[in-house]
Amino acid sequence: MASKSKLTVAIDIGTSRMAAVAGAKNEAGKLEIIGFAKTQAKGVKRGIIFNIEDVADTVKELLTALELKINERIDEVYVAYAGQHMKTVHFQRVKLTSEDGIVSKADIDSLFEQAKNAEIEEGYKLVEIIPVSYVVDNERIEKPVGTTGRKVEANYKLLIIPNSYWVNLLKVFGKLDVKLEKVTLSTLAVAEAVITHEEKEMGVIVLDIGSGTTNLAIFHDYKLIHTAVIPFGGEVVTNDIREGCSILYKWAEQLKVQYGQALGDFADDQKVVTIPGNNGWEPKEISFKSLAFIIQARLEEIIDSVNFQIEKPGIAEQLGAGIVLTGGTSNLENIVSLVKFRTGLDVRKANLVLGLHEKHKELQNGEYFTALGLLNLVERKSAAIVPVNEKSAKVKKPKEPGKIKPWIDRVFQGVLDLVDDENEDVPLK
């Protein structure tokens, strides 16, 4: 049985849903899942909290459900988040070693401190320092301490988020009297859950097509080399269906989930789905083929944005393992074929590579992948999650004006106000 004193709770804050997983190390030192919960999200748009009260209520509901399952109060949490303006920036420093010519822990600690105090873009906060590589006398070294050499170079990725994101997260969890222990990029968390050691070595993209954003993280030689957040995802696909078919948002979402697919040519042109009539309006028939072509057009735009990231210098040639596709939109039929065709890379759908779900088959649901990955990162104290203290990093001024690039209550703001809640849902036929 897991020890209460070592309880760790990971929360995935998404645009359309939130999920939480609680775990602890058992007596054998192995991570054990002791509870999990999920709920529909409110107050988040394209990954950004815009209604504190709505998000607080949603997180309260989520944590209350989890607390009832584990029979324990939750006092602190780790959060995976994917706001569209979160980003990683490269940081490099070189240091001469001591007179004995051996790289010491003090040398590495000194380089890490420099990363903590790095100048960052104005209006942003440093929330995570991710070690990428160390080079001793021009030779890359995995574990530099104890290595002989005259100079050591450290390369880090600094995860920075807009100050407003950080403040809103603190307000949400402050309302709930829960400590926000750590924030990390959701793509880094889900990568922990769905890609293999071999894929990280060969070079792989974790492509998470969520509801509000599309997020990607690229790894090669076991290290993170690039991240990006594209500010649209499955929601814009639903909006396209709504507008293209002149129907309510709720019907558009239901059409996408139940009958949608990513390739128009593969859709059955003899099949139609009927949208019920309402308030004097006649029922409407939508063909499967028309629906598929609407979906395909927007997905191609999203994939082209991904290609823009892949085509950046030094990336394309490092993707031997291709793309691992996750997120709710990845459930669309034939999306693997479309992504493979548009990128020219091998593509597979994500599945859990962690053994954490063995006793809980429900965790094989992709909605828990990000929370599970974050939980594993925290528990094994991965180098991918390095604590950053509350001392703010130095802010880099722009050179030219205009070029700045149940116990609780919580907060985040409303998404697209397109669904008519007064209409009772009727199953599509």
Mean pLDDT across 88-115: 93
Radius of gyration of the chain (CA): 23
> What local confidence, expressed as pLDDT, does residue 419 receive?
28
pLDDT at 25 exceeding the cut of 90? no
Those residues with Cβ within 8 angstroms of residue 232's Cβ, 6 or more apart along the chain or in another chain: 46, 212, 213, 214, 302
Per-residue pLDDT band at 73 (split at 50, 70, 90):
very high
Taking residues 178-195, report their average pLDDT.
94
pLDDT computed for residue 396 by the predictor: 52
Instruction: Please give the pLDDT value at position 381.
Output: 62
Tell me the residue ranges of DSSP E strands in 299-394. 322-326, 347-349
Q: Does domain 1-86+161-195+351-423 have CATH number 3.40.640.10?
A: no
Give the residue among 362, 297, 281, 419 at the shortest CA–CA distance from 36. Answer: 362
Q: E strands of 167-304, at which residues?
A: 179-185, 204-209, 214-220, 223-230, 272-275, 284-287
Look at residue 140 in the predicted model and tell me its pLDDT: 92
Position 277 pLDDT exceeds 50: yes
**Nearest CA-CA partner of 307 in 343, 256, 332, 267:** 343
* Structure confidence at residue 414 as a pLDDT band (50, 70, 90): very low
Q: In the predicted model, is pLDDT for residue 399 greater than 70?
A: no
Predicted confidence at residue 394, as pLDDT, reads 52
Who has greater pLDDT, 386 or 212? 212
Share of the chain above pLDDT 90, in %: 73
Q: Are 113 and 216 in contact (CB under 8 A)?
A: no
pLDDT in tens, 308-349: 999 998 899 999 999 999 999 999 999 999 999 999 999 999
- CATH number (3.40.228.10, 3.30.420.40, 3.50.30.30, 3.20.20.20) of 197-349 reads 3.30.420.40
Residue 136 has pLDDT above 60, yes or no: yes
The predicted-structure confidence for 223-241, as pLDDT tens digits, reads as follows: 999 999 999 999 999 999 9
Show me where the domains of the chain are located. Answer: 1-86+161-195+351-423, 87-160, 197-349
Q: Tens digits of per-residue pLDDT, 138-183?
A: 999 989 999 999 999 999 999 999 999 999 999 999 999 999 999 9
- The string over 262-284, giving b where at least 16 C-beta atoms fall within 10 Å of a residue's C-beta and e elsewhere, is bbbeebeeeebbebeeeeeeeee
Q: What is the pLDDT of residue 233?
A: 94
Closest CA to 131 of 139, 146, 141: 141
Q: Which residues contact 265 (CB under 8 A, 6 or more apart)?
A: none
CB 156, CB 108: distance < 8 Å: no
Say how far apart CA 212 and CA 230 lie, in whole Å: 9
The model's pTM: 0.84
Whether the domain at 1-86+161-195+351-423 and the domain at 197-349 fall into the same CATH topology: yes
Closest by CA position to 184, among listed 378, 26, 326, 20: 378
pLDDT grade, residue 421 (50/70/90)? very low
Q: Which fold has domain 87-160?
A: Dna Ligase; domain 1 (3.30.1490)
Longest dimension (CA), the chain: 87
Do residues 222 and 336 lie in contact, with contact meaning Cβ atoms separated by under 8 Å?
no
